[in-house]
Amino acid sequence: MSGRVDSETPAAISRPDGVEASGPQNDTGAAPRTVTEEPTEGPLADADADADADADADAVADEDGEGDGDLQDPAEVARRARWTAGGAGALLALAGLAASLLRLTGAAPAPVGAAYAAGAAVCALASLLGFRGRTRRALWLMIAGVMVMALGDQFD
């Protein structure tokens, strides 16, 4: 193939739909592979066979409803987000409350314990919002609550 406009493409390297093959041409005299041929031997053929077997197994598992397909139920994703936001907010609120009680019973100044208590209250509010589905607001409130706790720790 010279690339000239008047050159013709042999039928052996043309695609079935009539579109010419692009890319470097094989001038060694060997019969070139067509686009529809698949390798039948070599290390890549084994990998392709394994990939095809895995794809078939995933398709069977998805039909049964047991597979972890790429498409998830939006209700399940939302439920998981609500539980994650609510659980994280509750955990941060409990940690802030415990730190507040420890600081108030110790030798730390009163604003330190109050800051931890205020941060815990903000995280508790974030937990409530998370369980009600306001996950974005809950995330920002958790960040604000932890920042209040960190600010209180600076007074120590």
Query: Two tokens at 119?
Result: 């941060």
User: Tens-digit pLDDT profile for the chain (156 aa)?
Assistant: 556 565 565 555 555 555 555 555 555 555 555 555 555 555 555 555 555 555 555 554 445 555 555 678 999 999 999 999 999 999 999 999 999 999 989 888 889 999 999 999 999 999 999 999 999 999 999 999 999 999 988 887
In a shared domain, residues 61 and 106: no
In a shared domain, residues 82 and 146: yes
Within a domain: 15:
no
In a shared domain, residues 98 and 125: yes
In a shared domain, residues 64 and 82: no
Residues whose CB falls within 8 Å of the CB of residue 104, separated by 6 or more in sequence, listed in order? 110, 113
In a shared domain, residues 104 and 149: yes
What's the pTM value of the predicted model, to 2 decimals?
0.54
**Length of the chain measured in residues:** 156
Within a domain: 90:
yes
Instruction: Enter the DSSP assignment of 107.
Output: T
Number of domains in the chain: 2
In a shared domain, residues 114 and 48: no
Per the structure, the complete domain to which residue 124 belongs is given by: 74-154
In a shared domain, residues 62 and 89: no
In a shared domain, residues 84 and 66: no
CA 59 – CA 16 distance, rounded (Å)? 29
How distant, in Å, are the alpha carbons of 5, 6, 23, 45 from that of 2? 9, 9, 12, 32
Burial degree of 62 (CB within 10 A; 0-12, 13-18, 19+): middle
In a shared domain, residues 60 and 122: no
The structure tokens 């049964």 sit at 64
Within a domain: 145:
yes
